[in-house]
Amino acid sequence: MQNRITDLFKVKYPIIQAGMIWCSGWELASAVSKAGGLGIIGAGSMYPEILDEQIAKFKANCSGPFAVNLPLLYPDIEKHLEVIIKHQTPIVFTSAGNPAKLTPYLKQKGIIVVHVISNLKFALKAQEAGVDAVVAEGFEAGGHNGKEETTTLVLIPQIVDSVGVPVIAAGGIGSGRAMLAAFALGAEAVQIGSRFVASVESSAHQNFKDAVVNAKDGATQLSLKQLTPVRLLKNPFYEKVAEAEARGATPEELKDLLGKARAKAGMFLGDLEEGELEIGQISASINEIKPAGEILSEIVQEFNATAKQLSLLNL
């Protein structure tokens, strides 16, 4: 397959491994890129010097393309930018902020820019800012999420019909069937997060990987909507949040309850009680920890087999 995304990223498959805090370092990104997809290093949980080290290790291990995901809500983004430019990073995915903030600067440096959106307004804003593509991420996705709560099935065709740049579908996609469904809706690539959390090469703590594999339907919930909405795996920390929200806690109370470094505690250090565990609804269908390359080739095979089946359909 060749399309605008494979041409843009110079990848074999239009399959992107999401840049996730605490889970996607150089090991995961290089495993995905070696297997023909696009690996992303998630800078959201990295100090500039860590990001520097991670990109260097990626480049030492893999000559393929890669991207860095940079959430725009953090301060001190300048130092991250320096690292990104120093390494001649070919592609940057920006998220959680205004796409107008960095897109012109990054484009001027010759970098391909993709912005993650969850509604039509920001898709149009991103296009206007000059991005090369958008990731349209639905309600079922793990981690930070949109206030509109629009699901992937509803969001993708809406964005595809409204922008000219290619659309990468995200949220609820962990299989070749779901990838093909996204293509039926008009997406030209998929971004997959949760399924790669439960990979051998993910830097998630083993406890967190096991928790993802054990998750059943209804195991996650979009939470902390008064701060930044985030999809969490239900655990004792989540229950405290839910209880506070049910009694009408203020944003300040929720901020205090959240505190600092909970995401690291949960996802990287494996504290399943008090940690913040970000994962998507599709975790209910993830039942095994596998090498990232194997995950990717399973998705490719299922995509092709399902496309063959569908080609016989005619109403």
The site for its own copies (CB under 8 A) is made up of: 1, 13, 119-120, 138-140, 147-155, 157-158, 161, 171-173, 175, 177-178, 180-186, 216-218, 221-222, 246-248, 281-282, 284-285, 300, 303-304, 306-308, 310-311, 313-315
Q: Which is nearer to its own copies, 203 or 223 (CB)?
A: 223
Nearest alpha carbon to residue 15 among 34, 31, 27, 32: 32
Q: How far apart are the first and last CA of the chain?
A: 26
Query: Measured from the CB atom, is 99 or 172 closer to its own copies?
Result: 172
CA distances (Å), origin 284, targets 43, 53, 126, 207: 27, 34, 32, 16
Cβ-based neighbour number of residue 287 at 10 Å? 12
Distances (CA, A) of 37 to 155, 159, 183, 219, 303: 23, 23, 16, 29, 14
Report the residue number, 149 or 294, with the smaller CB distance to its own copies: 149
Instruction: Please give the order of strands across the beta sheet that includes 143-144.
Output: 143-144, 230-233, 220-223
Residue 39 Cβ, how far from its own copies at the closest point, in Å?
Answer: 17
CB of 286 to its own copies, least distance (A): 11
Q: Judge contact between 245 and 230, C-beta under 8 A.
A: no
- Supply the minimum distance, in Å, between the C-beta of residue 210 and its own copies: 20
Cβ atoms of residues 265 and 275 within 8 Å: yes
Q: At its nearest, how many Å lie between its own copies and the CB of residue 237?
A: 19
- In terms of CB distance, is 247 or 260 closer to its own copies? 247
| Residue 173 DSSP code | -
Residue 54 or 283: the one with the smaller Cβ distance to its own copies is 283
Smallest gap from residue 13 Cβ to its own copies (A) = 6
**Which CB sits closer to its own copies, 75 or 313?**
313
**Which residue has tokens 């725009």?**
72
Minimum gap (Å) between residue 30 Cβ and its own copies: 21
